[in-house]
Amino acid sequence: MLKQKKYEFWFCTGSQDLYGEECLNKVAAHSRKIVEELNKSGILPYEVVWKPTLITNELIRKTFNEANLDEKCAGVITWMHTFSPAKSWILGLQEYRKPLLHLHTQFNEEIPYDSIDMDFMNENQSAHGDREYGHIVSRMRIERKVVVGHFADPIVIGKIASWMRTAVGIIESSHIRVMRIADNMRNVAVTEGDKVEAQIKFGWEIDAYPVNEITESVDAVSASDVNALVDEYYDKYEILLEGRDPEEFKKHVSVQAQIEIGFERFLEEKNYQAIVTHFGDLGGLKQLPGLAIQRLMEKGYGFGAEGDWKVAAMVRLMKIMTADIKNPKGTSMLEDYTYNLVKGKEGILQAHMLEICPTIADGPISIKCQPLSMGDREDPARLVFTSKEGPGVAVSLIDLGNRFRLIINDVDCKKVEKPMPKLPVATNFWTPQPDMYTGAEAWILAGGAHHTAFSYDLSAEQMGDWANAMGIEAVYIDKDTKIRDFKKDLMLGEIFYK
C-alpha cells in the first residue's frame, strides 16, 4: 500500500523595522493569528507553520534555504503585512526551489472608519507592500500562485487548499518511478516520448524490467495468499458468470489475484509507484493484467496501457494530488473509444480493454470473464462498472519533439441512455467542454492522445499550475474555448516554449 508524507507549509510574513518594535510585535501577532485561523478552518489539507517575521536580507535567505532542505516543507506562503523593500527578497528567492504562494490578504476585513489614523495606515499596508514584493517576483520570472482576499473567507482558504494539493504534486513529481514491463506499442506515436527529458522536467524515473522478472514474482505467490484474496473479491464484487462454469471462472479470477499480489510485491520491493503493461508483450503471464491492475490503481498506483509511461506517471501524480481528499470521486486512466453523435446527446464513451480504476465507479462493481479479442492469452477477469456523473478534468501530456505540452479538458460525465449488456468493460461517458464538436476539434489540433489521465477531484487550474511549475506549456479546453483563439494559444506556445 502506498503511503503519503505528512507535508506542511511555512507562513512567512514580510515587514521592515521602519516603524519600530511595537509595530513589529503587532505584525507578528497578526500573522500568528492568521496561521491559527487557517489551521482551525478545517479546509486546508495540510498544516500551516508560522515563521518569525522576515525583515532582513540575511533572514529571508536563511529561511528560504531552510525551507529547501526541510523534507516536510512542501511550499512557502508569503504575505507582506507592511512595506517590505523587495530588494531584500532577491537572494532568498533566487535560491528558493519549492512552490511559492503569495497570499495577498490583510488582517482587518473592514476599514476602521472611526479610528483610522496614519499609525494604522503604516501598520496595515499590504495593498502596497504586496505590490512591491509582487513586482520583484514577476521581474525575476518566478512561477508562483497569487491568492487575493481576506484570510478568513472560506473561498480564499479553499484556494489555498487547492494550491496546496498542486504544490504537493510538484514536490512529489520527483518521487515518481514508473516501471515499464513492456515497451511502447509498435508504430504508435502519441504514447512515445523522451524519458530523459521527462526526468529533467518532471523528475520521473522511468525504467524497464523484463516482463518475466515480474512473472517470477507472480509465480512465487502462494496458493493460500491467492485464495484469501479471491475470497475478498467474491465478498466485495458481484460475480457475473454469464454461462461460464463457476469453477473455471474462479480459476481465471485466481490468476488475476496472483498477478495483483505478485505485481504489488515486485513494485514495493523495487520502489516503483506506477507501471505500464502491453497486451502484446506478456511473457509468462497467463492473462493480461485486468482486475489486478484495476485494484492496484485503486490503491494509488499509476498505470498506463500499451507502454504508455506518460499516462502512468500522470495517473500516479493525480492520485497523489487527491490523496488527502475526503470522499473523493476518483481518478483513473481512460481512453476515448467511441462517439455518440446524436444531436443533443453528444459524448465520448470512455473505456479501455480492461484497466479502468474502480475509484470512479458508481454503484455495484462486478467481475466478468471474457475473451480479450486481442493478444493470445486466457480470457482475463476484469471489474465492470459505470462511472459517476459530474464535472471532471481529463489531461494528456504529449511530447512535441523539442518539448512537452499538457492538454487540459474540462468534461461533464453523464450516464449513457441505456445499459450496454454486451460490453464487458468498465466505462465512463462524457461531453467535453465547451461542446462535443469544439472540444474534440481543439483536442485534435493540440495533438492530444487517446489515452488520458482523468480525475473528478482536480481542477484545470490545478493541473495548469502544475504544468507551469514544471516549465511546460498548458493549454485549456473549457467553456471559454473558441477555435480561433485556441489556435492563437498554440502559436504563442510555439514561440514561448521554443
**Interacting residue ranges for Mn ion, rule: CB under 5 A:** 305-306, 335
Q: Which residue number, 172 or 306, has a Cβ lying nearer to Mn ion?
A: 306
Min CB(238)–Mn ion separation in Å? 26
Q: State the amino acid at position 292 in one-letter form.
A: A
> Is 389:413 a contact under the CB 8 Å cutoff?
yes
Q: Which residue number, 12 or 398, has a Cβ lying nearer to Mn ion?
A: 398
Q: State the amino acid at position 120 in one-letter form.
A: F
Residue among 414, 398, 395 at smallest CA distance from 462:
395
Q: Which residue number, 288 or 305, has a Cβ lying nearer to Mn ion?
A: 305
Q: Which residue number, 230 or 398, has a Cβ lying nearer to Mn ion?
A: 398
Q: Which residue number, 123 or 335, has a Cβ lying nearer to Mn ion?
A: 335
Min CB(427)–Mn ion separation in Å? 14
Adjacency order of strands within the sheet including 361-369? 238-239, 361-369, 381-387
Phi–psi pair at 261, nearest 5 degrees: -65, -45
Q: Which residue number, 260 or 308, has a Cβ lying nearer to Mn ion?
A: 308
Min CB(473)–Mn ion separation in Å? 24
> Is 287:255 a contact under the CB 8 Å cutoff?
yes
CA 270 to chain centre: 23
Q: Which residue number, 168 or 425, has a Cβ lying nearer to Mn ion?
A: 425
Min CB(303)–Mn ion separation in Å? 11
Rounded to whole angstroms, the Cα distance separating 172 from 202 reads 10
Q: Which residue number, 399 or 465, has a Cβ lying nearer to Mn ion?
A: 399
Q: Which residue number, 321 or 353, has a Cβ lying nearer to Mn ion?
A: 353
DSSP string, 220-282: TS-HHHHHHHHHHHHHHSEE--TT--HHHHHHHHHHHHHHHHHHHHHHHHHT-SEEE--TT--
Q: State the amino acid at position 212 in one-letter form.
A: N
* Alpha-carbon torsion, ordered 13, 45, 465, 410, to 10 deg: -150
Q: State the amino acid at position 217 in one-letter form.
A: S
Q: State the amino acid at position 79 in one-letter form.
A: W
Place of cell 506518460: 310
Min CB(191)–Mn ion separation in Å? 8
Rounded to whole angstroms, the Cα distance separating 394 from 334 reads 9
Residue among 297, 343, 334, 278 at smallest CA distance from 448:
334
Min CB(279)–Mn ion separation in Å? 9
Rounded to whole angstroms, the Cα distance separating 429 from 347 reads 7
Q: Which residue number, 34 or 305, has a Cβ lying nearer to Mn ion?
A: 305
Instruction: Give the H or E element holding residue 120.
Output: helix 118-123
Min CB(263)–Mn ion separation in Å? 19
Number of residues in the chain: 498
Rounded to whole angstroms, the Cα distance separating 288 from 381 reads 9
Min CB(177)–Mn ion separation in Å? 22
> Is 391:411 a contact under the CB 8 Å cutoff?
yes
Min CB(335)–Mn ion separation in Å? 5
Min CB(399)–Mn ion separation in Å? 17
> Is 317:289 a contact under the CB 8 Å cutoff?
no
Q: In the structure grid, which three cell numbers stand for residue 456, read together? A: 473528478
Strand partners, 494: none
Min CB(467)–Mn ion separation in Å? 23
Q: Which residue number, 306 or 457, has a Cβ lying nearer to Mn ion?
A: 306
By beta carbon distance, the residue nearest Mn ion is 305
